[in-house]
Amino acid sequence: MQTPQLFNHPLTKAVPWAVLFLCLAVYAYTGNYIIAAVPFAFLFMLLVGVNWKTAYWVFLFTIPFSIDLNFFNDTLATSVPDEPIMWLMLLLLFVLAASRPALFQREWLTNPLVLIVAAQYLWLIVAVIYSHMPLLSLKFLAAKTWFLASFFVLPMFMFKEKKDYRTGFLVMLIPIFITILIVVYRHAMIGFNFRRIEIAIGDVYNNHVDYSTVMSMFYPLLWVAFLMTKGKGPFVRVPLLLIILLFLPAIYVTYARAAMLAVVFALGLAIAIRLKLAQWIMPVFYALIASLIIYMATDKKFMDFRPDYQHTFMRKKFTDHIVATFRGQDMSSMERLYRWIAGVRMSQDEPVKGFGPNTFYYYYKPYGVRSFKTYVSHNFEKSTTHNYYLYMLVEQGWPAMILYAIMVMVMIAQAQKTYHRFKDRFYKLCTMGVVMMFGAGFINNFFSELIETHKVGSLFYLSIALLVLLTAKSKQLEREEKETAAATQ
Confidence at 74, pLDDT banded by 50, 70, 90: low
pLDDT digits (tens, 9 = 90+) for 233-282: 888 899 999 999 999 999 999 888 999 999 999 999 999 999 999 999 99
Residue 46 maps to a domain: no
Confidence at 72, pLDDT banded by 50, 70, 90: very low
Residue 28: the pLDDT is 60
Residue 310: the pLDDT is 52
Residue 265 maps to a domain: no
In this model, does residue 309 exceed pLDDT 60? no
Confidence at 232, pLDDT banded by 50, 70, 90: confident
Strands (E), 188-251: none
Please say whether the beta carbons of 158 and 164 come within 8 A.
yes
pLDDT digits (tens, 9 = 90+) for 270-301: 999 999 999 999 999 999 999 988 888 787 77
Q: Residue 422 carries which side chain, given as an amino acid letter?
A: F
In total, how many domains does the chain have?
Answer: 1
The chain-wide mean pLDDT, for the chain, equals 86
In this model, does residue 362 exceed pLDDT 50? yes
d(CA 50, CA 179): 30
Residue 402 maps to a domain: yes
| Alpha helix stretches (DSSP H) within 130-207 | 134-148, 155-158, 162-189, 197-201
Residue 1: the pLDDT is 42
Beta bridge partners of 77: 70
Q: Is the pTM of this model over 0.85?
A: yes
Confidence at 23, pLDDT banded by 50, 70, 90: low
Residue 378: the pLDDT is 79
Angle formed at CA 60 by CA 140 and CA 470, multiple of 5 degrees:
90
Please say whether the beta carbons of 67 and 79 come within 8 A.
yes
% of the chain beyond a pLDDT of 90: 58
Poorest-confidence range of 59-73, 80-94, 174-188, 319-333?
319-333
Residue 229 maps to a domain: no
In this model, does residue 20 exceed pLDDT 80? no
Residue 486 maps to a domain: yes
Q: Give, in order, the Cα–Cα distances in Å from 63 to each of 60, 221, 458.
A: 6, 17, 8
Considering only residues 113 and 298, tell me which one the structure prediction assigns the higher pLDDT.
113
pLDDT digits (tens, 9 = 90+) for 316-357: 555 544 544 544 456 677 788 888 999 999 999 999 999 999
Residue 200 maps to a domain: no
Chain-centre distance for alpha carbon 139: 19
pLDDT digits (tens, 9 = 90+) for 452-488: 999 999 999 999 999 999 999 999 999 888 888 888 7
Residue 67 maps to a domain: yes
| Region 60-68 average pLDDT | 89
Residue 226 maps to a domain: no
d(CA 361, CA 346): 12
Name the phi and psi angles at 229, rounded to 5.
Answer: -90, 15
Residue 114: the pLDDT is 96
Residue 15: the pLDDT is 53
Q: Are strands 76-80 and 67-71 parallel, antiparallel or unpaired?
A: antiparallel
Query: Domain residues for 367?
Result: 51-165+270-489
| Alpha helix stretches (DSSP H) within 330-424 | 331-347, 360-363, 388-421
In this model, does residue 383 exceed pLDDT 90? no
Q: Give, in order, the Cα–Cα distances in Å from 181 to each of 250, 258, 265, 385.
A: 9, 21, 25, 31
